[in-house]
Structure 1
Amino acid sequence: MLLWVNGPFGGGKTQTAHEIRRRLPGSVICDPEHAGFGLHRMLPPDLRGDFQDLASWRQGVVEVLDLALTRHEGVVIAPMTVTDSGHFAETVGRLRDLGHDVRHFTLLAERETVLKRLRERGFGHLLRFAAGRNAGPGRETWAVSRLDHCLERLREPEFAEHLWTDRTSVPRTADRIAVLAGLTLRPNHEGVLRTRMRQAGVGLRHIRFD
C-alpha cells in the first residue's frame, strides 16, 4: 500500500509521514521531493523552475515508487505536494493504473494556520549566518507565494480524501489516516515535550541549503 500525503507547503505532510512511519512497523518513507532536488542540482540556477514540470521527475517518481511497492513488504509513505491535475494523473493515477493500492490524503488548514506553521519553521533564517548564504528563507518565501494557489486547488474533489488539521495534532492526524486506510498504528505514548523535540529534529533534517 502507498500512502500519498498531499497538502500545501507547511501543511504538515512531512511530520505526519514521519509520525506514521514511527508507529507503523515495516513502513518506509520514499520522498518524491528528493528526486526533484536532485534534478534541480543538475541545472544551472537560472534554469531551475518547478521540478514537477519535468517529465523526468514524474516518470522517475512512478518508477521508484513502483519498485518500492513491488519489492518492499511494508507500507510506503510519500509526502508530496501535487496540485496540477495532469501531474497528479501521471503520478498517483499512473501508480493506480499499475495495480498498486494507493491511498491519497490531502492535509488542509486555514491560510493563517499554514502561515503560522511556516513562520514557526522559519528558524532557517538563523542558519544563514552559519551557512554563509540564505539557507531557508528563499524556500519559505516561495512556499508563501504558492499558498493561495495550493489551498484553492487542493480543495477540489479530485484531491480527496481531505483532512482538516487546524485543531488537531500530528499524532491525531496520523491516527485518522491509519483508520481511513485500514491500518493499525502503535499507541502513541510520547509526552508533549518529547514529541516537540522529535518533530524539531525532523524539521532540522529537512532544511535545504541549496
Structure 2
Amino acid sequence: MIVWLNGTRGAGKTTTSEFVQQLLPDARVLDAEKVGEVLMDIKPGLPATDNFQHWEPWRPLVVETARRVLEYTGGTLVMPMTVLVESYWREISGGLTEHGIPIHHFVLHADQATLRDRIQNDKDLGPSTFRFAYLEPYAEAAHTWLHKEAEVIDTTHITADQAAQQIADSVLDR
C-alpha cells in the first residue's frame, strides 16, 4: 500500500512522513523527489523546465519505482510529494492502481498565513522563493480538485507528529 502525503511545499510532508513511517507496521519512506533528482542529473540535461514533474518520464518512473520497491520489500510506502497538476496525479494514481497497489491519499493543509509564516521562518531552509511560488497553485488545486481527491488533514494548529497520528489512525481503521 502507498500512503501519499500531498500538499504545498512547506506544509510539513517530509517531517510528517517520518512520523507516519514510525506508526505504521513495515513502512518505509520513498520521496518521489529523488526520482526527479535522478532526471535532473542527466547530462546533457533534459529540456528546460521549472519543475521536473513536467518531464514526461518522471510520472511513470515514480509508479515503476514504487511498484518495484513494494514488490521487493512488501509493506507500506509513505510518499511525501506535492502533485498539484490533476492530470499528473491521475497518471500516477492510475498507474499504481493498474498494478493493484492501494493508495491512501492525504493532503496536509494549512491556511495561507500559516504556510507563509512557516516558509518565512523555516530554520533549515530559510525563506524560499521556490516554496512561496507554489502557494497560489496549491490554493487553486485545493479549490478545484485536490481536496476532493484526498483526505485533508488541517495542520494549521497541530504538530507534524499529531498529523502523523491522524494519518496512521485513518489508514489502520480502513
- What is the TM-score normalised by the length of structure 2? 0.88
The alignment partner of 1:55 has SS state of coil
Pairing 1:168–2:158 present? yes
Return the offset for 1:39: 1.2
Alignment match, 2:129: 141
Residues 106, 154 of structure 1: 8 Å contact kept: no
Root mean square deviation of aligned Cα? 2.0
Alignment match, 1:96: 97
Residues 23, 168 of structure 2: 8 Å contact kept: no
Name which one, 1 or 2, has greater alpha-carbon Rg.
1
Return the offset for 1:48: 4.0
Give the letter for the 1:114 counterpart.
Answer: L
The alignment partner of 2:41 has SS state of helix
Which one of 118, 123, 142 corresponds to residue 154 of structure 1?
Answer: 142
Task: Assess, with a 3 A threshold, how the Cα gap between structure 1 residues 119 and 63 changes in structure 2: closer, same or farther.
Answer: same
The alignment partner of 2:153 has SS state of strand
CA distance in 2, matches of 1:83, 1:149: 7
Residues 6, 106 of structure 2: 8 Å contact kept: yes
Alignment match, 1:83: 84
CA distance in 1, matches of 2:45, 2:90: 29
CA distance in 1, matches of 2:132, 2:89: 21
Alignment match, 1:114: 115
Stretches of structure 2 lacking an aligned partner (at least 5 in a row) = none
Alignment match, 1:202: none
The alignment partner of 1:182 has SS state of helix
Return the offset for 1:120: 2.3
Give the letter for the 2:75 counterpart.
Answer: G
Return the offset for 1:87: 0.3
Stretches of structure 1 lacking an aligned partner (at least 5 in a row) = 126-136, 184-210
CA distance in 1, matches of 2:46, 2:61: 21
The alignment partner of 2:82 has SS state of coil
CA distance in 2, matches of 1:55, 1:143: 22
Residues 40, 48 of structure 1: 8 Å contact kept: no
Large movers: runs of 4+ above 3 Å: 43-46, 122-125
Alignment match, 1:72: 73
More helix by share: 1
Which one of 127, 143, 167 corresponds to residue 177 of structure 1?
Answer: 167
Return the offset for 1:69: 2.0
Q: How many pairs align?
A: 170
Return the offset for 1:122: 5.2
